[in-house]
Structure 1
Amino acid sequence: MRKKFSFTAVCLLAAGLFVCASAEDKADVTKPVIQLNAPEEGGVLFIGRAYEYVVHFDMDISDDVMLKSYEIEVKSDFKSKKTKSAKDTTVVLSFKQEYDVSGKNKEHIHHHDIKIPIQTKPGKYLMTVICHDAAGNEAREVRHFVLKKEEAVNP
């Protein structure tokens, strides 16, 4: 009876270790996928003369298991470190926002949340999109774009 009990205990222990090892083998180690459709790499966006423009943002994100969030950051990509003169009223475009997409494994994103104020400084900018999945994996996509003043229309 004792041998039978010992054998059963050993079998249960081995089965438990096998199940635990199998669960660890299936951990999510795959990064999410970002397909950034807009704005396009190297694109030119305009700063409005009379009213604020927005950035057309469009992407598809997916993960093999579950998404968690994505964030967008826009900052200048200026090479010059010149100090701003007192007469210069322009501002550098800056944007940082995180969005929750928990509970989904793919999502199409389309919005116009990034505003380009009239007084935005023209020049090169950098947009970074970071997507996180529920397991903590992350993927990054970077876009460079240029902001230019809208041309005056001659009547």
Structure 2
Amino acid sequence: MKTRFYFPMIISLLVISVSLLTACGDSDNPLSDTTKPVIDLKSPAEGGVLAIGSEHGVHFEMDLSDDVMLKSYKIEIHNNFDHHSHDTRTAETTVDFTFNKSYDVSEQRTAHIHHHDIVIPANATPGDYHLMVYCTDAAGNEAHVARNIVLSATGGDDGHHEE
């Protein structure tokens, strides 16, 4: 007699538990987002030559997108030298250029980025550098893009033409 009463109650509890667990779909849970954001870096181009000492700043342009929500992006520039040089200048005349800055793009699924925040000082060491862009979405997924760029004291072409 007791078995007849408990068996239907146990089955009912199992059915309710399973239906509650499956009712909360992945689309409602931002932590279930496992897709990395997409970075479409338009400028500077791979192998781009950037002018040292320009007061206008480097033309930087890209599009970011995510299937749920973006959070931030970071730009990092560091040298790609092997520290072998035939330069006749003394070491104090130039400094290895670095740039590292983060930007907030929270509450957006897409963002068009266009700015001139990267200013290369006149005393930056010319040569090969890496430009890295990292983008993180609201769930913490990160994508990155790497470019090889060259800093030049004799000018550059960052692909930007005034309109």
Q: Please indicate the TM-score interval, normalised by the length of the shorter structure.
A: 0.7 to 0.9
Q: In 2, distance between residues paired with 1:138 and 1:56?
A: 24
Contiguous gaps of at least 5 residues in structure 1: none
CA-to-aligned-CA distance 1:6-43 (integer Å, 9 cap, x gap): 554332122123235x4399721111000000000001
* Alpha carbons 1:52, 1:118 under 8 Å: kept: no
Q: In 2, distance between residues paired with 1:87 and 1:132?
A: 37
1:131 pairs with 2:143: no
Q: Which amino acid aligns with 1:68?
A: K
1:116 pairs with 2:129: no
Contiguous gaps of at least 5 residues in structure 2: 156-163
For normalisation by structure 1, the TM-score amounts to 0.82
- Residue of 45, 54, 63 corresponding to 1:40: 45
Q: CA deviation at 1:102?
A: 0.7
1:64 pairs with 2:67: yes
Q: In 1, distance between residues paired with 2:19 and 2:91?
A: 75
Number of matched pairs: 147
For normalisation by structure 2, the TM-score amounts to 0.78
Q: CA deviation at 1:54?
A: 1.4
Identity of aligned residues (%): 46
**Aligned 1:2-151 pairs, distance under 5 A:** 2=5, 5-20=9-24, 22-23=25-26, 27-48=32-53, 52-80=55-83, 88-150=92-154
Q: Which amino acid aligns with 2:33?
A: D
Q: Which amino acid aligns with 1:41?
A: E
Aligned to 2:158: none
Q: In 2, distance between residues paired with 1:24 and 1:111?
A: 34
Larger relative strand fraction: 1
Relative distance call for 1:45 and 1:147 in structure 2 (3 A) is same
Relative distance call for 1:12 and 1:59 in structure 2 (3 A) is same
Q: In 1, distance between residues paired with 2:127 and 2:11?
A: 74
Q: CA deviation at 1:103?
A: 0.5
Q: In 2, distance between residues paired with 1:24 and 1:55?
A: 39
